[in-house]
Amino acid sequence: MRVNYASVFILLQKFRLGYSVFLRHVIPLFSAWELTLPSPTHSNPYWSQQALETPMSFIPRLSYSAQLLPYSNPTSSLQPIGVFTSSQGAAEEHAQQRLETWRSQLCSSQDDKSGLLLLLLDFKKEYRGCGLIGRSWAMVFAAGGFKVKLYDIAQQQLTSALENIRKQMKELEASGFLKGSLSAEKQLALISICTDLKTAVDGAAFIQECTPENLELKKKIFGQLDLIVGDNVILSSSTSCLLPSKLFTGLKHVKQCIVSHPVNPPYFVPLVEIVPHPETDPSTIERTYALMKKIGQSPVKLNREIEGFVLNRLQYAVISEAWRLVGEGIISPTDLDLVMSDGLGMRYAFIGPLETMHLNAEGISNYCERYREGMKLVLNTFGPVPEFSGETEQKISQAMSEKIPVVPKHLNARREWRDECLTGLAKLKKQMSSN
């Protein structure tokens, strides 16, 4: 095994084990994790026919990370913010199912399978390293002047997380994009690490969970927290898709539970969706909203839970029609993205769709009077939900891969460029709103 803590990856090289042996005896050495396998498309160069056989020969890549989970008291800028991460657990059955699904998909695929098979075992879905969402939350709270405690069972992972945060804060400060009024050093001084859960949550008033989108794992975590927190602590989840009614029901402190769903990447995109459980106390909603405002985020309140919340429902509606338009040959993938980035997106960066309607006519009523029949005519031509696979997937994948090759160097460079753009946009919006 070769360990590279600089990138917080664990590379297990050239295992010649059956996958069941690997899952039983190697994986349990690590903390709880989420298995993420890419779709077997022609654009992915990492497939190996040998990986379908046993003994299994591959280079699995493990992203072993400290998940950061901050919490604080909105009434005081110096209350401790504890951070809770994935606990060690048996994930063999989940991994086995995911691996079998992937193997069956690959067997039926006609795509090129040359090269090496990479298994990515990642704590935070598509994110790598110490958990982008968790690190961003910690940085946002520190920028707001709150003390942050990072918790993990592994000291090395906490150390790696801190180093990653330090590096990012220094880079942001040098480029003039660091959030908050405190210097990078002062913000870093607010962040500490802890390997004892009870110590991490001691004195806290707000807990933000940032573990994988796995219902049973999250329920287990909140069950543990439910046993040790007081009656005034808010238990909040970063989940992007799990309903509060499925996540929190049965907890003793259910009235203190809420979802605070950030947008990727949270440090650069301020929106937070606040979604209550049916039994969430109104004061929990208001305290969470006030805290998010205090740390510089832009919270919105959902009156009740709904599948996908609001952001993803809007996003999926756009993706669905984009997929359909490309699939039907109406427009190329590249031009489709331009319609958003150089068209709708420029307006929506400053005003939403409803205000756009309001301004594009003499108010909403006038807009509906003018365009309702045209809108209904177009909407009636929308088809069913796409399968998000097959020829359209290959077409879009090829176009995106030609623009941004699917290799870490190019993907990371593009992500950094995206984050710089988002930071610049945030500064521009703040400047314009103050004027």
The CATH number assigned to the domain holding 366 equals 1.10.1040.10
User: From start to end of 283-395, where are the E strands?
Assistant: 298-301
Q: Quickly state the pLDDT bin for 120 (edges 50, 70, 90).
A: very low
Query: What pLDDT was estimated at residue 330?
Result: 98
**Could you tell me the two tokens for 79?**
């209350």
Q: How many CB atoms lie within 10 A of CB 252?
A: 11
- 112 plus 242 within the same structural domain: yes
- 265 plus 365 within the same structural domain: no
- 271 plus 339 within the same structural domain: no
Q: Quote the number of domains for the chain.
A: 2
Asked if residue 430 is part of any domain, the answer here is: no
Domain extent, residue 391, equals 311-403
Q: Which residue has the higher pLDDT, 149 or 103?
A: 149
Q: How confident is the model over 244-276, as pLDDT tens digits?
A: 999 999 999 999 999 999 998 899 999 999 999
Most confident of the following: 106-115, 158-167, 200-209, 275-284 = 275-284
- 295 plus 337 within the same structural domain: no
Asked if residue 128 is part of any domain, the answer here is: yes
Asked if residue 410 is part of any domain, the answer here is: no
Query: What pLDDT was estimated at residue 415?
Result: 94
Q: Residue 105: pLDDT above 80?
A: no
- 74 plus 104 within the same structural domain: yes
Asked if residue 416 is part of any domain, the answer here is: no
How would you write 373-432 as a 3-class SS string? HHHHHHHCCCCCCCCCCHHHHHHHHHHHHHHCCCCHHHHHHHHHHHHHHHHHHHHHHHHH
Q: How many CB atoms lie within 10 A of CB 5?
A: 13
- 152 plus 118 within the same structural domain: yes
CATH at residue 297: 3.40.50.720
What average pLDDT score do residues 51-78 get? 32
- 91 plus 193 within the same structural domain: yes
Q: Give strand pairing partners of 3.
A: 10
Asked if residue 413 is part of any domain, the answer here is: no
- 261 plus 370 within the same structural domain: no
CA 69 to the chain's CA centroid: 13
Q: Residue 18: pLDDT above 90?
A: no
Got the DSSP string for 79-121?
S------PPP---HHHHHHHHHHHHHHHHH--S---S----EE
Q: How confident is the model over 1-11, as pLDDT tens digits?
A: 333 322 222 22
Query: What pLDDT was estimated at residue 103?
Result: 43
Most confident of the following: 10-19, 55-64, 355-364, 426-435 = 355-364
Asked if residue 420 is part of any domain, the answer here is: no
Q: Choose the weakest-confidence range: 198-207, 281-290, 400-409.
A: 198-207
Beta carbons of 103 and 43 less than 8 angstroms apart: no
Q: What is the pTM of this model?
A: 0.71
Asked if residue 423 is part of any domain, the answer here is: no
- 188 plus 272 within the same structural domain: yes
Q: Quickly state the pLDDT bin for 125 (edges 50, 70, 90).
A: very low
Q: What letter represents residue 289's amino acid?
A: Y
Query: What pLDDT was estimated at residue 410?
Result: 97
Q: How confident is the model over 321-350, as pLDDT tens digits?
A: 999 999 999 999 999 999 999 999 999 999
Among candidate residues 249, 236, 240, 245, the one with its CA nearest the CA of residue 214: 240
Q: Quickly state the pLDDT bin for 92 (edges 50, 70, 90).
A: very low
Among candidate residues 266, 239, 78, the one with its CA nearest the CA of residue 257: 239
What average pLDDT score do residues 398-424 get? 95
Among candidate residues 333, 256, 251, the one with its CA nearest the CA of residue 71: 256
Beta carbons of 239 and 210 less than 8 angstroms apart: no
Helix (H, G, I), strand (E, B) or coil at 185: helix
Q: How confident is the model over 217-241, as pLDDT tens digits?
A: 999 999 999 999 999 999 999 999 9
Angle at 428 between CA 261 and CA 292, to 5 degrees: 25
- 219 plus 102 within the same structural domain: yes
Beta carbons of 395 and 324 less than 8 angstroms apart: no
Asked if residue 178 is part of any domain, the answer here is: yes
Query: What pLDDT was estimated at residue 131?
Result: 62
Among candidate residues 146, 134, 153, the one with its CA nearest the CA of residue 208: 134
Q: Round to whole Å and give the CA distance between 258 and 238.
A: 9
- 278 plus 330 within the same structural domain: no
Q: Quickly state the pLDDT bin for 150 (edges 50, 70, 90).
A: confident
Beta carbons of 33 and 89 less than 8 angstroms apart: no
Beta carbons of 32 and 217 less than 8 angstroms apart: yes
Beta carbons of 288 and 270 less than 8 angstroms apart: no
Angle at 79 between CA 75 and CA 83, to 5 degrees: 120
- 247 plus 114 within the same structural domain: yes
Q: How confident is the model over 157-207, as pLDDT tens digits?
A: 888 889 999 999 999 999 888 999 999 999 999 999 888 888 889 888 899
What average pLDDT score do residues 43-50 get? 33
